[in-house]
Structure 1
Amino acid sequence: MKFAIFATLLVSASAFSINKADVAKAAAAGAIAFSVAAGPAFAGDVGAGEQIFNANCAACHAGGQNVIMPEKTLEKEALDQYLSGGRSEKSVMTQVTNGKNAMPAFGGRLSEEDIANVASYVISSAEAGWEE
């Protein structure tokens, strides 16, 4: 929406004899700024993810650990090594949705938004070293 407003303002600014090359440069810069600010489409809400994690995942993964398979934690190094696709929100979403090995699938229990929020929380916590 902000990008659309920005583009409209730029187009209407040309009526005031602004150099069209400058307008094009500004529009391109706006598009780049918009895409950077928007981030990935699946980026979730970390706070909501923490609540969902605590209600659904913490029994096995409290503090980023794994009570079933101790080597497969939610710490950065383990996510890089064991998570299909590496350490990313998309990979966590796939794992949570489909499950794997002893981990059940949550795709039928949690909404896509909830899973995106959990993924954001897991990645954010792993980056912070699961410090609370």
Structure 2
Amino acid sequence: MKKLLTLILVVLLLFTTTFTLPASAADTVNGAEIFNVHCAGCHVNGGNIVRRGKTLKKKALKKYGMDSVEAIASIVTNGKNNMSAYKDRLTQQQIQDVAAYVLEQANKDWR
């Protein structure tokens, strides 16, 4: 009986840890919604209406060292030049979500 209970607990533990996302995992669906509300005005389809070369396209992100979730999250949080800071408007999780969305879209060439 003890072995059966142990086996059941191990199997449950494996299913729980294997098929659930970590609490800090980025939600790109939520990121898309946030992007559409806060970012799309300047960055339609990954472009940039303010500074033409500073797009969210993969090549530009790589060129400017913004090709990671951490780098994108940092600029969303703190802003830079014409880019506003969003640390007072978005939660850290929302910033992570939108950063993950931007990187995902860049990798898909914004299609």
TM score, norm. by length of structure 2:
0.79
Distance in 1, Cα, partners of 2:83 & 2:97: 18
Deviation for aligned residue 1:42: 5.1
Q: CA RMSD in A?
A: 2.4
State the identity as a percent.
38
1:107 maps onto 2:87 in alignment = yes
Distance in 2, Cα, partners of 1:62 & 1:121: 14
**Which structure has more RCO (C-alpha within 8 Å, separation ≥ 6)?**
2
Aligned residue pairs, count: 100
Deviation for aligned residue 1:43: 3.8
The residue that corresponds to 1:97 in the other structure is 77
Distance in 1, Cα, partners of 2:61 & 2:82: 16
SS at match of 2:56: coil
Structure 1 or 2: more helix by fraction = 1
* Structure number, greater radius of gyration: 1
Distance in 1, Cα, partners of 2:25 & 2:103: 10
User: Compared with structure 1, are the counterparts of its residues 51 and 93 closer, same or farther at alpha carbon in structure 2 (3 Å cutoff)?
Assistant: same
- Tell me, which stretches of 5 or more residues in structure 2 are unaligned? 1-5
Q: What amino acid does structure 2 have at the position aligned with 1:47?
A: V
User: Compared with structure 1, are the counterparts of its residues 42 and 66 closer, same or farther at alpha carbon in structure 2 (3 Å cutoff)?
Assistant: farther
1:117 maps onto 2:97 in alignment = yes
Q: What amino acid does structure 1 have at the position aligned with 2:110?
A: W
Indicate which of 28, 31, 36 corresponds to 1:46.
Answer: 28
Q: What amino acid does structure 1 have at the position aligned with 2:47?
A: Q
Deviations 1:54-85 (A, max 9, x none): 000000001000011100100011001114xx
Distance in 1, Cα, partners of 2:102 & 2:34: 11
Q: Do the aligned residues in 2 keep the contact of 1:43 with 1:89 (CA within 8 Å)? A: no
- Tell me, which stretches of 5 or more residues in structure 1 are unaligned? 11-29
Distance in 2, Cα, partners of 1:108 & 1:97: 8
